[in-house]
């Protein structure tokens, strides 16, 4: 796997461990579960957390990288179903620093934005938050 895949899977597993939902790489969930996926947006279950990489900024000489991560929430017709889950994850990861997630040395996690989405065709509310994840990622040409 790549560093990016490892980081995203590490976040998914962290959310599972914290009880925010169920991470299942197959993307198959029961109707009563809150599914956690990487990039995939299955039709079921109604309650879903989708972790998607967005932008990447890499320093050419130092091992500093910033990985953008969008965390998208889908819930019921009640907007609190997504707002409460978003707030819980914000409380858990915003400001997190000096940890290892998915084998990546995470320097700092910070939320950059948060916004509602329109309800989908099934009247399910959606919301997303965008985070910057600063990591130390040495490569052949990048040093500490």
CATH number where 67 lies? 3.30.2000.10
Percent of the chain scoring above 70 in pLDDT: 99
In a domain, 125, yes or no: yes
Alpha helix segments (H runs only) across 73-112: 80-93
Helix (H, G, I), strand (E, B) or coil at 13: helix
Give the pLDDT score at 125: 97
Please give the Cα distance from 18 to 49 (Å, whole number).
13
Domain count, the chain: 1
| Interval 62-98: pLDDT, tens | 889 999 999 999 999 999 999 999 999 999 999 999 9
| Interval 113-133: pLDDT, tens | 999 999 999 999 999 999 999
In a domain, 143, yes or no: no
Tokens of 70: 């969008």
Q: Classify residue 70 as exposed, middle or buried by CB count within 10 Å of its CB (0-12, 13-18, 19+).
A: middle
Tokens of 12: 């998914």
Q: Which structural domain, as residue segments, surrounds residue 77? A: 3-136
Please give the Cα distance from 19 to 12 (Å, whole number).
11
In a domain, 142, yes or no: no
In a domain, 141, yes or no: no
């Amino acid at each position: 796997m790549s560093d990016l895949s490892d980081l995203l899977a590490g976040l998914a597993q962290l959310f599972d461990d914290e009880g925010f939902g169920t991470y299942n790489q197959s993307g198959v969930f029961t109707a009563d579960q809150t599914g956690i996926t990487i990039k995939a947006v299955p039709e079921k279950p109604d309650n879903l957390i989708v972790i998607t990489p967005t932008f990447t900024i890499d320093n050419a000489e130092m091992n500093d990288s910033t990985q953008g991560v969008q965390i998208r929430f889908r819930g019921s017709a009640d907007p609190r179903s997504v707002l409460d889950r978003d707030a819980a994850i914000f409380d858990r990861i915003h400001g997190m620093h000096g940890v290892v997630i998915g084998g990546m040395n995470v320097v700092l996690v910070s939320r950059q934005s948060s916004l509602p989405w329109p309800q989908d065709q099934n009247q399910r509310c959606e919301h997303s938050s965008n985070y910057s994840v600063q990591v130390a990622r040495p490569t052949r040409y990048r040093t500490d």
